[in-house]
């Protein structure tokens, strides 16, 4: 089975970052059904930098060279801002591997948004915005990115024959000043 889904040709960096372009990386469709933000690998913008971070002022061994492809997943940079992560701070980064047939329990972390990025394998994300609401199952493939909001129930399951490997980024929501004072 092919681990790498088809992806469109990379966009040259000069085109992607043109000031007049307003290249919101997230014009690609995402699924807001029940609140989860779900980006399929084929819809994530790929940008080619030649070289990435040139560093011409550095000695020759440290100068950039060759082509690099960057997959822009989520961004708050001007011109590409999604306003999904504003006010959040880094909480944790996990490299998670689920064995074939393994799954996590249905859980909700009230104050932490979680971003899942699929590195390898195939699986399912089961998601529901609150306890008692219908569970929506979404397939996970290499290169997919998912944002689950704090307080929403979710679980991961490996339905493939190889390990399902993910990077999991946790972002703590900012506490409004009125709540922090209480």
33: confidence class by pLDDT, cuts 50, 70, 90: low
So what's the pLDDT on residue 157? 95
The whole-number average pLDDT for the span 66-95 is 85
Alpha carbon distance 45, 23 (integer Å): 10
Q: Tell me the residue ranges of DSSP E strands in the chain.
A: 11-12, 37-39, 45-49, 68-72, 89-98, 112-120, 123-128, 136-140, 145-148, 153-158, 164-172
CATH number of 89-180: 2.60.120.10
Q: Which residues contact 41 (CB under 8 A, 6 or more apart)?
A: 5, 7, 118, 141, 142, 143, 144
CB atoms within 10 A of CB 174: 13
So what's the pLDDT on residue 65? 83
- For a pLDDT cut of 70, what percent of the chain falls above it? 84
Cα three-residue angle 85-82-121, rounded to 5 degrees: 75
So what's the pLDDT on residue 46? 84
**Residue 74 pLDDT more than 60?**
yes
Residues in the chain: 182
Burial class (CB in 10 A: 0-12, 13-18, 19+), 127: buried
Tokens of 5: 């889904």
Least confident of 23-27, 126-130, 143-147, 172-176: 23-27
So what's the pLDDT on residue 109? 85
**Residue 92 pLDDT more than 90?**
yes
**Residue 182 pLDDT more than 80?**
no
Q: Which residues contact 80 (CB under 8 A, 6 or more apart)?
A: 23, 24, 25, 26, 72
pTM of the model: 0.80
The 10s digit of each residue's pLDDT in 121-164 is: 999 999 988 888 888 898 999 999 999 988 899 999 999 999 99
Enumerate the domain spans of the chain: 11-32+42-72, 89-180
Q: Are 119 and 143 in contact (CB under 8 A)?
A: no
CA atoms within 13 A on the CB side of 93: 4
The 10s digit of each residue's pLDDT in 34-59 is: 567 888 887 788 889 988 888 888 88
């Amino acid at each position: 089975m092919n681990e790498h889904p088809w992806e469109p040709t990379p966009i040259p960096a000069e085109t992607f970052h043109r000031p007049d372009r307003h290249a919101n990386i997230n014009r690609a469709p995402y699924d807001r059904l029940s609140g989860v933000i779900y980006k399929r690998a084929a819809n994530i913008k790929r940008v080619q930098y030649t070289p990435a971070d040139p560093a011409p002022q550095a000695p020759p061994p440290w100068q950039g060279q060759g082509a690099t492809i960057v997959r822009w997943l989520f961004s708050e940079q001007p011109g590409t801002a999604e306003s999904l992560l504003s006010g959040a701070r880094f909480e944790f980064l996990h490299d998670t591997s689920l064995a074939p047939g393994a799954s996590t329990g249905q859980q909700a972390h009230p104050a932490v948004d979680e971003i899942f990025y699929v590195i390898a394998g195939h699986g399912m994300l089961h998601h529901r915005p609150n306890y008692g609401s219908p569970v929506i199952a979404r397939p996970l493939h290499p290169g997919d990115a998912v944002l689950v909001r704090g307080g929403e129930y979710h679980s991961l399951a490996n339905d493939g024959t190889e390990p399902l490997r993910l990077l999991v980024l946790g972002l703590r929501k900012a506490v409004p000043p009125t709540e922090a004072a209480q």
